[in-house]
C-alpha cells in the first residue's frame, strides 16, 4: 500500500528535453537562416559585379570563380590535398602533445604552476612569425616545417583548455570518488576526462579551422610548390585572380570539412552534452 502511494507521488515527474523527431526538425530549421544568408551574399556579390562592372582584379564574380574552380580542379585539389596533409599532421601532433602535457599538469602541480602562465602568454604570441625559422630548421621541401608551425599554433589553446577542464572539476565529485577510495587513475578516467571533453572540443573546433589557415600562411614563406599557399600566391602575383580565388575556395572547403569532422566527433564522444539538448525555446 505504501508502495503504490510512493510511486503515485512521482507521476508528475516527466523528464524534459528528450530527443525526439521534432528536435531533429529543429536542427534542420537551425540551418535555414545560414543557408539563406549564404545564397543571398553570393547573389548580391554576383549582382554587384555585373551592375557596377567591377574588374576581376578587384573582385571576380562568383560565377567566374566557380568556372575556374571546375576547370583547374586537378591542380587545386592536388595542392589542397598536400596542404590538408600539413594541416592535419600539425593538428594531430599539436593535439596529442597538448593532451599529454595537460594530463601532466593534473598529476604534477609544479608543471601546472610553471607552465600555465607561460602557455597562456604564448597564446598571444604571433606564432606564425616562426614560419621562416621552421623552414630553416627542417628540410624546406618536406611538409614537416609547416606541420611544426601548425602544431605550435594548435598546442597552446588545446593544452590550456584541456588542462582547465581536467583541473576545474566539481570538488563534490572528487569527494564522492574519495569516499569510494578511488585511485587517481580512476578519478582521471571517470571524472576528469569526461569533464574535460567539452573544454577540449571547444578548443579543437577553433584550431581545426586555424590549422588550414596557418598551414597556408606558412606556405607563403616558401617550400614545395604543389600546395595551396604557393598556388594562391603565384596566381595572385600573375594577376590571375579568379584562379587565386578558386584556391581560396578549396581552402575554405577544407576548413569547413575539418570543422564538421570535429563537430561530428564531439557528438560521438559526448552524446550527453548540454549543447545537443533539444532546446524548448523557439
Cβ proximity of 231 and 247 under 8 Å: yes
Question: Using the rule CB under 8 A, which residue among 132, 194, 222, 224 binds other proteins?
Answer: 194
Q: 72 — phi, psi (to 5°)?
A: -100, 20
Instruction: Please identify, using beta-carbon distances, which residue of 195 and 205 lies nearer to other proteins.
Output: 195
Angle (CA) 119 122 128, round 5°: 140
Selected from 51, 52, 272, 281, the binder of other proteins by CB under 8 A is: 272
Q: Which long-range contacts (CB under 8 A, 24 or more apart) does 85-89 make?
A: 85/143, 86/143, 86/146, 86/147, 86/150, 86/215, 86/218, 86/219, 86/227, 87/150, 87/211, 87/212, 87/214, 87/215, 87/254, 87/258, 88/211, 88/258, 89/143, 89/147, 89/150, 89/151
Q: Return the closest-CA partner of residue 228 out of 238, 215, 239.
A: 215
Q: Cβ 219 to other proteins, closest distance in Å?
A: 40
Give the Cα separation of 81 and 193 in Å (integer): 33
Least spacing, CB of residue 17 vs other proteins, in Å: 6
**Residue 279 near other proteins by CB under 8 A:** no
* Least distance (Å) between residue 165 CB and other proteins: 12
Based on the shown chain and the rule CB under 8 A, indicate whether residue 13 belongs to the binding site for other proteins: yes
Candidate residues 28, 32, 34, 172; the one interacting with other proteins per rule CB under 8 A = 172
Q: Which is nearer to other proteins, 2 or 32 (CB)?
A: 2
Stretch that binds other proteins, among 14-22, 73-81, 126-134, 149-157 (CB under 8 A): 14-22
Grid coordinates belonging to 189: 578516467
Q: Is 7 in the site for other proteins (CB under 8 A)?
A: yes
* For other proteins, the closer CB: 15 or 33: 15
Q: Are 227 and 83 contacting, i.e. CB atoms less than 8 angstroms apart?
A: yes
Is there binding between residue 57 and other proteins (CB under 8 A)?
Answer: no
Q: Which is nearer to other proteins, 124 or 171 (CB)?
A: 171
Count of residues in contact with other proteins, rule CB under 8 A:
33
Name the segment binding other proteins (CB under 8 A); options: 34-42, 143-151, 189-197, 231-239. 189-197
> Shortest gap between Cβ of 186 and other proteins (angstroms)?
6
Nearer to other proteins, 3 or 74 (CB): 3
User: Considering the complex, what minimum distance in angstroms separates the CB of residue 169 from other proteins?
Assistant: 10
Q: Based on CB atoms, which residue is closest to other proteins, 22 or 55?
A: 22
Which residue, 227, 231, 256, is CA-closest to 246? Answer: 231
Q: Does 281 bind other proteins (CB under 8 A)?
A: no
The grid coordinates of residue 230 equal 604557393
The binding site for other proteins (CB under 8 A) comprises 2, 5-7, 9-10, 13, 15-18, 170, 172-173, 175-182, 186, 190-191, 194-195, 197, 270, 272-274, 277
Amino acid at each position: 500500500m505504501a508502495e503504490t502511494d510512493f510511486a503515485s507521488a512521482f507521476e508528475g515527474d516527466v523528464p524534459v528535453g528528450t530527443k525526439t523527431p521534432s528536435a531533429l526538425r529543429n536542427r534542420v530549421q537551425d540551418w535555414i537562416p545560414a543557408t539563406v544568408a549564404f545564397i543571398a551574399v553570393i547573389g548580391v556579390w554576383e549582382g554587384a559585379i555585373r551592375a557596377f562592372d567591377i574588374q576581376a582584379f578587384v573582385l571576380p564574380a562568383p560565377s567566374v570563380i566557380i568556372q575556374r574552380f571546375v576547370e583547374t580542379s586537378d591542380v587545386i585539389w592536388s595542392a589542397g590535398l598536400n596542404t590538408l596533409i600539413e594541416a592535419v599532421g600539425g593538428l594531430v601532433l599539436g593535439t596529442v602533445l597538448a593532451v599529454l602535457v595537460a594530463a601532466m599538469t593534473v598529476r604534477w602541480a609544479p608543471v601546472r604552476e610553471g607552465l600555465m602562465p607561460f602557455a597562456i602568454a604564448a597564446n598571444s604570441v604571433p606564432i606564425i612569425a616562426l614560419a621562416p625559422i621552421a623552414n630553416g630548421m627542417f628540410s624546406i621541401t618536406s611538409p614537416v616545417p609547416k606541420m611544426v608551425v601548425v602544431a605550435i599554433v594548435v598546442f597552446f589553446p588545446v593544452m590550456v583548455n584541456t588542462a582547465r577542464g581536467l583541473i576545474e572539476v566539481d570538488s563534490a565529485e572528487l569527494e564522492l570518488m574519495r569516499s569510494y577510495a578511488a585511485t587517481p587513475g580512476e578519478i582521471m578516467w571517470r571524472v576528469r576526462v569526461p569533464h574535460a571533453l567539452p573544454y577540449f572540443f571547444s578548443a579543437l573546433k577553433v584550431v581545426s579551422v586555424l590549422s588550414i589557415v596557418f598551414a597556408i600562411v606558412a606556405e607563403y614563406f616558401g617550400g614545395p610548390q604543389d600546395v595551396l599557399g604557393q598556388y594562391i600566391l603565384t596566381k595572385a602575383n600573375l594577376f590571375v585572380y579568379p584562379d587565386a580565388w578558386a584556391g581560396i575556395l578549396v581552402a575554405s572547403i577544407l576548413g569547413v570539412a575539418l570543422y564538421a569532422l570535429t563537430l561530428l566527433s564531439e557528438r560521438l564522444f559526448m552524446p550527453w552534452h548540454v549543447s545537443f539538448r533539444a532546446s524548448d525555446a523557439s
